[in-house]
Amino acid sequence: MRHVSFCKIPKILFFLACCAVPAASALAEDHGTGRVTVSGISAGGYAAVQAHVALSSTISGAAVVAGGPYHCAERNIVYALGRCISGSDLEAAPLVAATRAAAAAGTIDPVESLHNDRVWLFHGKADPIVNVAVTGAVRDFYASFLPEQAIALVDNIPVTHGWPTRDQGVACGEMGGDYINACDYDAAGELLQHLYGSLSQPTTAREDGLQVLDQAAVVPEGGYFADSGFAYVPEACIGKAGECRLHLAFHGCRQGSEFIEDRFARMSGLNEWAESNRIIVLYPQVNKSLMNPQGCWDWWGYTGADYDQRSGKQIAGIAALIAAWSE
């Protein structure tokens, strides 16, 4: 796998010869076209929601597999491991109110930026970890900001707690492994087509398209980011980044590179769609730690009380990665 270092000009672009790309202001103007979107599974699903809501002036849509609503844990590990997984006593209304208050205080982007976005939600029919009530809560949360037709919910695939693919990973009903399941269901294609609209059919992902991404050159300290992540760059985007969309996919617990190397990035199914549709895919990586031994993204506050706000270390790191692509 080739290593992609960031070019040493202002905020560093992550691929090939510092290609010309739109500035951050251009990203905001192009927001309605869905240029930047996110997805994630489990803790990564929570990360996707947090990034989408906190950075909604830049991110135009989110796909959430086995994740829950914004601010679910309220900085409380008991809530994180309780209601945010079981769904017990989890109501969207207080979280919607907290989101509006955060936007009014300026700690996240204005909620009005969400109004034209699209959201794709997935709950495995055989998921023994995250209760379907959690998916219901994230649906109700987004319904307070988006029109009904912008929200898709899939809950009829008999997968356990894993990322469903057409033919990659363990059997659909098998729990564990890399948390990637072969279910004869193309979640990557379904979510990308909901977020972006009609797309060309997938093609073979290029072996050298998946590259090592130098995160350490861009993200702030304190977010427990790994030094390196992964980036899939379609051939059509080499030297033409400004003509390509950007999608960030967040791994789940025990699914980062410390646990399964690059297999989530290779097996998710996203790269095949990216290659034929000029979509650059980033796979940011976070490390495990004493407070986070499973290598989860922060959905309860181990990086600080502002974990789900723009100033939070991981949200700021995600914004930096997007900005690096945008300059």
pLDDT of amino acid 3 = 55
The one-letter code for the residue type at 121 is: L
> Is there a catalytic annotation at residue 42?
yes
Distance CA 85, CA 231 (A): 30
Q: Where are the beta strands (DSSP E) in 131-243?
A: 151-154, 163-165, 170-171, 180-182, 210-214, 228-232
Total number of residues shown for the chain: 327
> Is there a catalytic annotation at residue 161?
yes
Write down the catalytic residue from 117, 127, 186, 214: 127
Per-residue pLDDT averaged across 39-57, rounded?
A: 98
pLDDT tops 70 at residue 52 = yes
Per-residue pLDDT averaged across 273-297, rounded?
A: 97
Write down the catalytic residue from 31, 39, 42, 268: 42
pLDDT of amino acid 85 = 98
Distance CA 221, CA 218 (A): 9
pLDDT of amino acid 21 = 33
Q: Where are the domains of the chain?
A: 3-326
The one-letter code for the residue type at 156 is: N
pLDDT of amino acid 327 = 58
The whole model's pTM is what?
0.91
Q: 43-54 and 313-326 helices cross at what angle (nearest 10)?
A: 70
**Residue 221 binned pLDDT confidence (cut-offs 50, 70, 90):** very high
Between residues 127 and 323, the one the model is more confident about:
127
In this structure, the strands spanning 210-214 and 118-122 are unpaired
Distance CA 162, CA 180 (A): 5
pLDDT of amino acid 198 = 95
pLDDT tops 90 at residue 325 = no
Write down the catalytic residue from 31, 123, 161, 251: 161
Q: Cα dihedral angle (181, 182, 186, 188), rounded to 10 degrees?
A: 40
pLDDT tops 60 at residue 216 = yes
Distance CA 195, CA 150 (A): 9
pLDDT of amino acid 242 = 73
Q: Which of 278, 266, 287, 293 is nearest to 212 (CA)?
A: 266
Per residue in 1-47, pLDDT tens?
655 544 332 333 333 323 333 333 333 333 344 699 999 999 999 99
pLDDT of amino acid 206 = 98
Per residue in 110-137, pLDDT tens?
999 999 999 999 999 999 999 999 999 9
Handedness of CA 202, 204, 205, 206 (dihedral sign): negative
